[in-house]
A and B are shown apart, each in its own frame.
Chain A
Amino acid sequence: MVQTEMYVMLAVVLFVLGTLGVLLRRNAILVFMSVELMLNAANLALVAFARQWGNVDGHLFVFFVITVAAAEVAIGLALIVAIFRSKKSINIDELHQLKG
C-alpha cells in the first residue's frame, strides 16, 4: 500500500503547479483552470488523509470543494464571457480601465 506521504507530496506538487499557473499565465480562462488544479490538489490531500485517519470527514469536505468549484465555474465563466463580449480580450494584464 502506498504511504499517505506520497499522496500528500503529489498533492503539494500539483498545488504549487496550480499556483504557478495562476501567477504566470495571462489568459483568464487558463488562470481559472490553474485554480481548478489547486482545488484538486487539496481534494487529493483530503482523501489521502481521510484514509490515514480512517474517517469520512475528508471525503465529505471533498464534496463541498466540488460543489464550490461548480459554483465558481458558473460565475467565473459568465464573467469571463461577459468581459470578452465588451473587450474582445480576456488577458488579465490588459484590464486597463483600472490601473493595477
Chain B
Amino acid sequence: MQLPSLSELNLGLTVPALSLALWACILLVIDLFIPRDRKSVTAWLAAGGVVFAFIANLLVYRDPGVAFMGLFVADEFAGFLNIVVLLTAFIAILMSVDYLKRTGIERGEYYVLLLMTTSGIMFMNSANDLAVVFIALELLSIPLYVLAAFRAPEERSEEAGLKYFILGAFASAFFVFGAALIYGATGSSSLPVIVDAVGRALAGEGSSLLLLLMGSGLILAGLGFKVAVVPFHMWTPDVYEGAPTPVTAFMSVGAKVGGFAALLRILLVALPALTVAEGDAVAGWQTATWVVAALTLILGNIVAISQTNIKRLLAYSSIAHAGYVLMAVAAAGTPGVSDQATRAALIYLMAYMFTNLGAFAVAMAIEKDDGSGTSLDDFKGLGRSRPLLAAIMAVFMLSLTGIPLTAGFVGKWVVFQATIEAGLYTLAVIGVLTSVISAFYYVRVIVNMFLEDGEGDPAAAATPYVQWAIYLTFAGTLVLGIIPSLVTNLSGPVALAVASLVP
C-alpha cells in the first residue's frame, strides 16, 4: 500500500474551498461568545472568511492544477465560478445583517450554514468525480434546506423548507441512480476515465451506450431540479416566495452556479463524445438540453407575466434565465463551439448574479418585517418617494431584459452568439422572442414605480448594509455592461482544462 505524500495531494489548490468550510466550523464556536445583540459581528467575521477565500481563489486562479490526484480540479473554469459564488455569498451576507435583525431571526448559525453551502458550491465547481459532485451537491443543498426554513415557526418559511427538501432529496436520488448507471457502463466514477470508456463504448466494445444515455439523462434530471429548468421547476416559485429574502437571493444564484458547473463539467469532460448513433457530429445530449432550454424559456417567461408578487416574479424570471444558460450548454454540444459556449455560460452567470442579487436587494428594501409588502403594487409611487432606489431597480429590470449597456445584454449577446455559432438557429430565435416577452413583466415594474400613482413607502428599509449591497450590484451591472471586455478577458482562457491536466 503506497500512500501519497501530502505534497502530492496538492492541498494548496483546495485552500479557497476548504478554508471557507473550516472557517464555518470555527465561526460556530466563536459565535457562542458573541452576545445576542451583537450578531452583526458574526456577519463581519463570515464576510471576512469570504474575502479570504476570494483572495486565495485569485491566487489559485493564476496557477491552475489538480489536487487529490485528479478528484479536485482548480482550473480557470472553477476559478471564475468561485469568484461568482464568493461575490454572491458576500452580497448575501450584506443583505442578511439587517434583514435578520428586523425579522427577529438573528442567529449565528445562519452565517455558518451560508458559508457551508458556499463551500459546497465551490467543491462542485471543482469536482472531477461523480462521487465528489454528489457529495458536494448535498453540501450545497442541505444547509439551503435549513436556511429556507430559517424563519420558522413562520409557516410559509417552514413550508418552503419542506418543499425544497422533499424535491431536493428526490432530485438527489435521480442523480445517484444516474451516476450508478454511468458507473455501470464505464466502471469508474472519475470523469476523465469515463471519457475513455465512452470512446470504447462508441467503438462497440466494453460497455453499453444505452446505459450511458440513460444515466446521463437521469443526471440531467437531477441537476435540472437544482438549477430549476422545466419540467423540474415546480418548487421554485413556492420556495423562493417562502424563504427569507436574502436566502432566496443567494439560492437563485448560488444553487444555479453549482448546478451548471457540475452539468457543464460532466457533459463536457466525461460525455463530450457521447453520440446517439455512430458518426453523429454533435453530442447526444444536445437535443435533450435544446428541448429543455426551449421549454424553460417559453414557460418561465410566459408564466412570469401573470405574477403579482415580486419574489414569485423573480422566481419565474430565474427559471427563464436558467433557460438562457442552458442554451449555452446545448450549444456546447457542438464540438467546435464548446469552449466559446462554456465561456458564454460563465459570463451569463456572472451578469445574472449582479443583476438578480440587486433586484432581490431592492425587493428586500421594500419588504415589511412580517414578510408582506412584496406585491408589485407596493412598487407604485416608489419613483417619487425613493427616486434613487427606483432608478437603480429600473436598471436591474432593464438588465434582466437584456437592454444594451447593462450586464444582462452582454450575457445574452455571448449566449446567442454561441447558439448561432453552433447552428441552433431555432433555439436562438426562441431565445430572442422570449427576451421580448420578458420585457412585458420587467417593464411593468418600472411602469409601476414611475408612472402609477401610489403612496410608495418612504420608510422603505434600505439600511446601510442593504444600500451597500445595492450599490455593489448596481456598479457590477453597469461596469459589466459598459466595459464587457473586462469579463470577456478575465474568462478568456476559460476552457475546461481538465483533460490536459489530469495525469
Contact = CB atoms under 8 A, between A and B. Distances in A.
Do any beta carbons of A and B sit within 8 angstroms of each other in the complex? yes
Interface of A: 4, 8, 11, 15, 18, 22, 28, 31-32, 35, 38-39, 41-43, 45-46, 48-50, 52-53, 55, 57-58, 60-61, 64-65, 67-68, 71-72, 75-76, 79-80, 82-83, 85-87, 92, 95, 97-100
Given A46-B183, A76-B145, 20 more contacts: A11-B177, A15-B173, A15-B177, A38-B174, A38-B176, A42-B179, A45-B177, A49-B183, A55-B187, A57-B183, A61-B180, A61-B189, A67-B135, A71-B138, A72-B142, A75-B165, A82-B152, A82-B153, A86-B155, A98-B237
Interface string B124-143: 00000011001100100010
Interface in B239-297: 241-242
B164 to A, nearest CB: 9
A75 B177 contact: no
In the A-B complex, the 10 residue pairs with the smallest Cβ-Cβ separation, listed nearest first, are A38-B173, A49-B184, A53-B187, A98-B238, A42-B176, A45-B180, A42-B177, A95-B159, A97-B156, A46-B180
Contacts of B184: 4, 8, 45, 48-49, 52
Contact of B145 (A32, A55, A75, A87): A75
B392 interface: no
Contacts of A92: 162-163, 166
B138 A76 contact: no
23 contacts: A22-B170, A38-B174, A39-B176, A42-B177, A45-B177, A46-B183, A50-B183, A52-B187, A55-B188, A57-B131, A64-B131, A72-B138, A72-B165, A72-B172, A76-B166, A76-B169, A79-B149, A83-B155, A92-B166, A95-B238, A97-B156, A98-B160, A98-B163
B146 interface: yes
Contact of B158 (A22, A79, A100): A79
Max chain A CB contacts within 10 Å: which of B153, B162, B177? B177
A72 B169 contact: yes
A77 to B, nearest CB: 10
Given A68-B135, A75-B142, A82-B149, A97 B183 contact: no
A98 B241 contact: yes
Contact of A35 (B146, B173, B183): B173
B503 to A, nearest CB: 18
B161 interface: yes
Interface in B347-368: none
Interface string B179-214: 111011001110000000000000000000000000
A16 B446 CA distance: 47
Contacts of A42: 173, 176-177, 179-180
Contacts of A72: 138, 142, 165, 169, 172
Given A39-B176, A95-B163, A68 B138 contact: yes
B276 to A, nearest CB: 21
Contact of A71 (B131, B142, B170): B142
What is the interface of chain B mostly: helix, strand, loop, or mixed? helix
A42 B170 CA distance: 12
Nearest to A35: B169
Contacts of A55: 187-188
Contacts, number: 133
A8 to B, nearest CB: 7
B370 to A, nearest CB: 13
Given A15-B177, A45-B184, A86-B158, A79 B145 contact: yes
Contacts of A43: 180
B177 A79 contact: no
B190 to A, nearest CB: 8
Contacts of B170: 22, 35, 38
A66 to B, nearest CB: 11
A79 B74 CA distance: 36
A11 to B, nearest CB: 8
Given A38-B173, A42-B180, A49-B183, A100 B238 contact: yes
B234 interface: yes
Nearest to B164: A79
Contacts of A87: 155
Given A8-B184, A98-B238, A82 B169 contact: no
B180 A49 contact: yes
A92 B187 CA distance: 39
A39 B184 CA distance: 16
Interface in B84-138: 130-131, 134-135, 138
Given A75-B142, A86-B158, A97-B156, A61 B179 contact: yes
